[in-house]
Every structure is written in C-alpha cells, then in structure tokens.
C-alpha cells in the first residue's frame, strides 16, 4: 500500500510549485481546489517521511547495539514508534470522502409514536446543538414545524464551521455527523403516560452535505415556486402575507418548503439552500450506486424496526446497532457528548475500507 505514496510525493511537490505561482490565484475556484488537495496530501507525506526515517534509525540503532547493549532499549522504542506510524499511515491512506470538510444540513423528523416521537425529535435537536457547541460549530435553524406539546414534527438545522475555514482531516462537520443518518429509537416512559409504562417511538435523522453554488447547477426553468401564508403549531395563522415558499424541482420531483423567515425572498433563499443540498446528496448517492452495491443508506421510512441507534432511558443506555457500540451514559450523550459514539462508527468505517483496499 505504501508504494503509492511515492506518486503522492510527486503530486504534492507539483501542487506546492503551482500554488507558489501568483497567476494560479487569479482563478479562486481552482486555487481553492488545489489548496484543498495540498492540505489532504501534506499529513500523508509528513507521516511517510517520519516512517521512512524511523526505519533508517532502527537499522542504525541495531548496529550500535551490537557493540553497546544500552542501545537495545532505543531499538525497542524506535520499533514501537514505527508501528504507530505504520498504523497512522495506513489510516491516512484510506480513501477519503470528498465531502468530509463540507458543512451539513441536518433534518430531524418525528415518526412512529405521535406526540412522544415529536418530543424525542426535540431531544435529538438539542443533542446536536450541544454537540455543535462543544466543537465550536455554528448552527442555524432553517425550518421548524413544532408540535403542540413543544417537540418538533420536523426541523432542519444548518451546521457549519465558524469562519468557513477548513477543518482538520476527519474533524469536519460532515466527517463527524454523516454517521447520524438513520432511524433513532427511544424507549422511555412518556410525559403523557399516566400509568408509568415504557413506550417505544422513533424519529428519523437525515444528514446532507451542504452544497455550494459550484457543486450543483439549478436551472430556474426546472423550478415551480408556490407561495402561501405561513402557519404555526396546530395550523394557526401567524402571517397575513404570502411569505411562505414551496419549491418543486420538476426533473427530480424533490419538494422543499420554508416559512420561518419573515420575507418571501428570505424563505426562497433558504428553500434553495436545502434543495441544493438534496440534489447534491442525490447525485452522490447515484455515483456511489454505480461504483458499489454496498452504499450506506440513511432514512427510508421512520419505522421503529429500521433503527441505527436506541436510546434507553430506564437503563441510561445508548446503543448503536451498526457497530455494536453500547454505553451507559445516555444522559451525557444527550448533553452533547457524542464523540465516543461517532468515533465507533468512524473506526468501523475505516476498518472496512482498509479491508477492502487489501
């Protein structure tokens, strides 16, 4: 596997030379693309050089140890270091998701369970907002349809890095949150339950990489735009003007709507933002389908049986059924301590890709 790094060294050197040319930066889109690739390759090249140097140091230390036994300890230390660098390099060479550094639009939708499912959707939203806060990410509620009891029938939130800068490899918003897509099941005694019985309900989570204008081209002739009066919980009118917007993408049939903003123009911009993300996700899924039959799916139906994760309140247990993760700190997870759960998915995904590459 490491033989391929020699080719990457040449590519890295070529990128460094091109980025030093002021003329390249006249095309900002191309410069961003080159900078992104350069940033991806830099840790690989640095780790590979350390790995090679450590190998040479081991040979030198072994020769010295033949005359001076005190160098034997140094040999062992260098061998441990080389093993660590080997594993690090193997992970860095795992094929990278090109969307890993993108921001996301996260959608949460109540499913089976009625009011309790809507309340659970609200719990999931708060969990993701707190996780974003822990990571110093910026969040923005794009669209929210509240339930009568204070939860959400559905809600869409944008999550992005502050300042729009590139995140460390593997630490971008999409790189972490893409594993959240699927059906989340909750087991607890609902607030509406008078006899203390445990109920099971579900909410669906869909995570979309947010598309930039350069990612998806939308033809205005392919759109049907309808306007209507926005409404609040229970259908009550909250606006006397036609500020709510519904956009239908005719070629795909994708429909998005927004009513949270005060003006029709703002709602249209938000709806187009969601539409771009959905079109990008659809294009990526189609590409993945053509490349492999092992495409990971997210939410198909918000059914309790199609769950990726279970939140059991009586046992304070969180379980991810895809990777066998289980912990008894549900209260902390709901407070935003999601990293151990997500890392289990990251590690399993990396292991699968490594196995496929061998």
pLDDT single digits (tens) 120-138 = 999 999 999 999 999 999 9
Residue ranges per structural domain of the chain: 4-92, 104-294+306-353
Domain over 104-294+306-353 is classified CATH 3.40.640.10: no
Closest CA to 316 of 341, 339, 333: 333
Residue 169 has pLDDT above 60, yes or no: no
Q: From CA 20, how far away is CA 34, in angstroms rounded?
A: 11
Q: What local confidence, expressed as pLDDT, does residue 80 receive?
A: 94
Q: What local confidence, expressed as pLDDT, does residue 319 receive?
A: 96
Region 350-356: what's the mean pLDDT? 79
Q: From CA 268, how far away is CA 244, in angstroms rounded?
A: 8
User: What are the residues whose beta carbons fall under 8 Å from the beta carbon of 170, sequence distance 6 or more?
Assistant: 100, 346
Domain 4-92: CATH architecture, name and number where available: Up-down Bundle (1.20)
Q: What is the DSSP string of 76-132?
A: HHHHHHHHHHHHHHHHHTSPPPTTTTS-EEEEEEE-TTTHHHHHHHHHHHHHHHHHH
- Radius of gyration of the chain measured on its C-alpha atoms: 25
The answer to whether 336 and 131 have CB atoms below 8 angstroms apart is yes
Average model confidence (pLDDT) for the chain?
Answer: 84
Look at the alpha carbons of 39, 43, 46, 49 in this order and tell me if their dihedral is positive or negative: negative
Q: What local confidence, expressed as pLDDT, does residue 162 receive?
A: 74
Q: What local confidence, expressed as pLDDT, does residue 340 receive?
A: 96
**What does each C-alpha distance from 326 to 120, 201, 264, 298, 310 come to in angstroms?**
20, 19, 46, 20, 10
- pLDDT band per the 50, 70, 90 thresholds, residue 344: very high
Question: Which is more confident, 341 or 36?
Answer: 341
Residue 166 has pLDDT above 60, yes or no: no
User: What are the residues whose beta carbons fall under 8 Å from the beta carbon of 257, sequence distance 6 or more?
Assistant: 143, 244, 245, 246, 247, 271
Q: From CA 340, how far away is CA 342, in angstroms rounded?
A: 6
Q: From CA 105, how far away is CA 59, in angstroms rounded?
A: 51
The answer to whether 167 and 89 have CB atoms below 8 angstroms apart is no
pLDDT single digits (tens) 12-25 = 999 999 999 999 89
pLDDT single digits (tens) 41-71 = 999 999 999 999 999 999 999 988 888 888 8
Q: What angle do CA 150, 111, 193 make, to 5 degrees?
A: 55
pLDDT single digits (tens) 69-112 = 888 889 999 999 999 999 888 888 877 777 888 899 999 999 88
Q: What local confidence, expressed as pLDDT, does residue 91 receive?
A: 80
Q: What local confidence, expressed as pLDDT, does residue 351 receive?
A: 83
């Amino acid at each position: 596997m490491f033989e391929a790094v020699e080719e990457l060294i040449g590519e890295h050197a070529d990128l460094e030379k091109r980025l030093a040319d002021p003329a390249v930066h006249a095309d900002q889109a191309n410069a961003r693309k080159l900078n992104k690739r350069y940033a991806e390759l830099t840790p690989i090249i640095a780790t590979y050089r350390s790995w090679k140097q450590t190998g040479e140091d081991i040979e030198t230390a072994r020769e010295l140890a033949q005359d001076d036994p005190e160098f034997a300890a140094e040999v062992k230390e260098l061998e441990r270091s080389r093993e660590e660098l080997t594993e690090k390099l193997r992970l860095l060479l795992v094929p990278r998701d090109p969307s890993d550094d993108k921001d996301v639009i996260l959608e949460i939708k109540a499913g089976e369970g009625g009011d309790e499912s809507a309340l659970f959707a609200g719990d999931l939203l708060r969990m993701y907002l707190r996780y974003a806060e822990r990571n110093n990410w910026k969040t923005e509620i794009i669209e929210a349809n509240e339930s009568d009891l204070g939860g959400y029938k559905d809600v869409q939130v944008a999550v992005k890095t502050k300042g729009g800068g590139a995140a460390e490899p593997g630490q971008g918003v999409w790189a972490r949150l893409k594993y959240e897509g699927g059906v989340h099941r909750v087991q607890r005694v609902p607030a509406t339950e008078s006899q203390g019985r445990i109920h099971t309900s579900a909410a669906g989570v869909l995570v979309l990489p947010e598309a930039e204008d350069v990612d998806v081209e939308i033809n205005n002739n392919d759109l049907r735009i309808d306007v209507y009066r926005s409404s609040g919980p229970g259908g009550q009118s909250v606006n006397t003007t036609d500020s709510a917007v519904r956009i239908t993408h005719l070629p795909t049939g994708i429909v998005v709507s927004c009513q949270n903003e005060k003006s029709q123009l703002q709602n249209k911009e938000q709806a187009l933002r969601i539409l771009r993300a959905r079109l990008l996700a659809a294009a990526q899924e189609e590409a993945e389908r053509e490349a492999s039959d092992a495409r990971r799916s997210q939410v198909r139906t918000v059914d309790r049986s199609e769950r990726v994760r279970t939140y059991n309140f009586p046992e304070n247990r969180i379980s991810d059924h895809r990777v066998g993760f289980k912990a008894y700190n549900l209260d902390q997870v709901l407070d935003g301590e999601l990293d151990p759960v997500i890392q289990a998915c990251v590690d399993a995904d990396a292991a699968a890709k490594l196995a496929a590459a061998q």
